[in-house]
Amino acid sequence: MRWKRTIQLLDVHAEGEIGRVAIGGVPKIPGDTIAAQLHWLNTDPKGHELRRFLCLEPRGAPIGSVNLLLPARHPEADAAFIILQPDQAHASSGSNSICVTTALLESGIVEMKEPETIVTLETAAGLVKATATCRDGRCEKVRLTMVPSFVHELDVGIDTPHWGRIKADICYGGIFYALVDVGQIGLTIEKANAAGLVQAGMILKELINRDIKVVHPEIPAISGVAYVMFRDTEADGTVRTCTTMWPGRADRSPCGTGNSANLATLYARGKAKIGDVFTSKSIIGSEFEVGLQAVTEVAGRPAVIPTITGRGFTFGLTQVALDPFDPHPNGFALTDVWGPSAGEI
């Protein structure tokens, strides 16, 4: 076979959310920093080609992400990575950090030490410390110390044609989120409502990004609301979440960066303090443990240091390739599977 390009992927999911990890064949990504490499992936035509090659059909699917393993730039980091999704490259993700840590340790790229291995991951948003519990050659769970998370603005009013005026918290947890109490759209967070939640999330994301401009005060490559996360609180204090992702799907995990952003809102409202730990449950019932480790500042704003604990599971090893005669080298997406906004891809 005379393939033009090959990339090896270790297939992993974290509490249901797929995060395939590119462990071989990753091309050189221009940029002196991970943030600069993120910017290149999101602005250069060749960056778009790589993302489409990995994320769209026939090699990709609407669900999940592809994590590009990159050489670390920070002296304290063991590895660096950037998250590719169908819409763009993203700076940070809790579930993908768990997938990458699991892949690094179970593939032997980073030596596994029992009962605990610490892996420092470099992202465009900063360093993420992953503390992995290991036994019998397996990564049993991963506790992430996330980047500082902060509130941009609480209770932002948004006029909608479907639900009237609703409120959202605009917050940063590694990427920017709009956090919306799900009762405002007349739904609950359960599997049967996934399509309705996703449709609402796509509408709200467009409205919010049209009217509200957000840029990280220290990392300008991170801008715009990436996701709308719906939330609810159960009687026992468990936070139920559904993060909606372009072009129209629900995060299968409880969402690490989303829960980090939500933790910043709880702290800002006096509902969380250092040492608090709570459970977050996803739309499929999988769980993350969310903790408030410390408080700090980002560009003068109060911020929190969250911890996210969950499990990663390997389920396959794939090599994707490009036939030089393939008429669809950059992939494709159709509205039958990818949703109505697939026509924009």
Residues in the chain: 345
- 211: its two tokens: 């009217």
Please choose, from the candidates 336, 332, 335, 340, the residue with its C-alpha nearest in 3D space to the C-alpha of residue 86. Answer: 332
Buried b (16+ CB within 10 A) or exposed e, 49-69: ebbbbbbbeebbebebbbbbb
| CA end-to-end span of the chain | 30
Answer positive or negative: Cα dihedral of 104, 108, 110, 115.
positive
Query: Which sign, positive or negative, has the C-alpha torsion 72, 75, 77, 78?
Result: positive
- The tokens describing 325, both together, are 């005669």
Our CA angle for 50, 53, 59, nearest 5°, is 150
For residue 60, CA distances in Å to 51, 57, 316 come to 10, 5, 14
| Pairwise CA distance, residues 24 & 47, whole Å | 17
Residue 164, Cβ density class (10 Å: 0-12 exposed, 13-18 middle, ≥19 buried): exposed
Closest CA to 233 of 183, 186, 198, 167: 183
Q: Strand ranges (DSSP E) for 173-276?
A: 176-181, 225-233, 239-245, 249-250
Does 286 qualify as catalytic in the annotation? no
Residue from 139, 149, 255, 280 carrying the catalytic annotation: 255
Q: Does residue 139 carry a catalytic annotation? A: no
Q: Which of 65, 93, 95, 97 is catalytic?
A: 93
Rounded Cα–Cα distance for residues 80 and 92 (Å): 11
Catalytic residues: 93, 255
